[in-house]
Structure 1
Amino acid sequence: MDSNIQSLFKNLESDDKEAQLDAFKSILDETTDEVDWAYDVWDMLIEWLTDVDNHQRSRAAQFLSALAISDPEQRMLEDFPMLWKVTKDPKFVTARHSLQSIWKIGLAGEEQKLMVLNHIIDRFQNGLGEKHYTLIRFDMIEGLKKLYDQLQDETIKQTALDLIATEEDIKYQKKYLSVWK
């Protein structure tokens, strides 16, 4: 693994919060394109998904979501349930950050895209009992928009619009639709 990447991961453990944040942002920047070091950190990130520190869980979910495009072995298809679990983390901010990045997995290929879509559809339809479900729904609709913007796949747009149409509260229906304007 590149020494710069090693240094960034080491800085995530720094006592200096600014160094941690800089490292976090830099890793996310690095992973917007395919990287050759994904498997050097993959297993560590999988372990982090269940770490006692909610920051580690959140980072792991966000990094793994971004690294899905750098996963030629398609490990994500098997590891996804562990990552999805973090989108329902007891710490709401952790759950939300994880959910906001989950769409990136859909960029990795057709199977990954369908997996993400199916999980979002199921949660949108069956998650009404969740705390802050309107925020969760907004994040999912926004994620679908980001995925659509990258792939220009009309089925993603239609899925989002179909989900929005099921929202009975006009206020929230308008809010969700605003993402697609």
Structure 2
Amino acid sequence: MGEYLSQVNALPFYLIVGGVLLFIIVMCVVFLVKSYRAGIAIGMDKKVLKRAITSSATFTVLPSISILLGVIALSGTLGVPFSWLRLSVIGALQYELNVAEISATSIGLTGLKVSEMTVQAFSTIALVMTVGILGGVFCCIFGLKKYLGKVQKTTTKKKSGKPGFGAYATIAMFIGLCSAYIGS
């Protein structure tokens, strides 16, 4: 158990995660500066821009409290660097905890117990979590523009008066979400 934790909390993992997060922070600062300059260039008031920055920062910090709790919950089993990276960049707390637990039980563990974890189990869980979340990324990259175009059309068809695609899509997503949580 001690050897496993020392491997998943090793310095190279921290350096890799730190590098990734530093890159993301630099990108955020670059986009913040460019956006601020673009706002000034089109004549926006500096007070409005500063208020937008302040409210955005507030709405960024508050959700990070739950993310920190998720990092703490996952780090006992999956290590701090992996949990930190997953929940900082692309992961969602509900997804990460559920998929990690499902993956662990699927490979024969009784749950996310550090006493049962091995490096092979960690690798499998990490792979399943990563591949699983990439579906949403690829759907957004390749299909979001077309999908949003359909959803943003009027919710009722003008000729027949029946609900359009957007109404059905919203209902289907709601039912799917409820089913997924009730099923698990």
Place the TM-score, normalised by the shorter chain, in its bin: under 0.3
The TM-score normalised by the length of structure 2 is 0.24
Higher relative contact order (Cα pairs below 8 Å, separated by 6+ residues):
2
* Structure with max Cα Rg: 2
Decide which structure has greater helix share.
2
The TM-score normalised by the length of structure 1 is 0.25
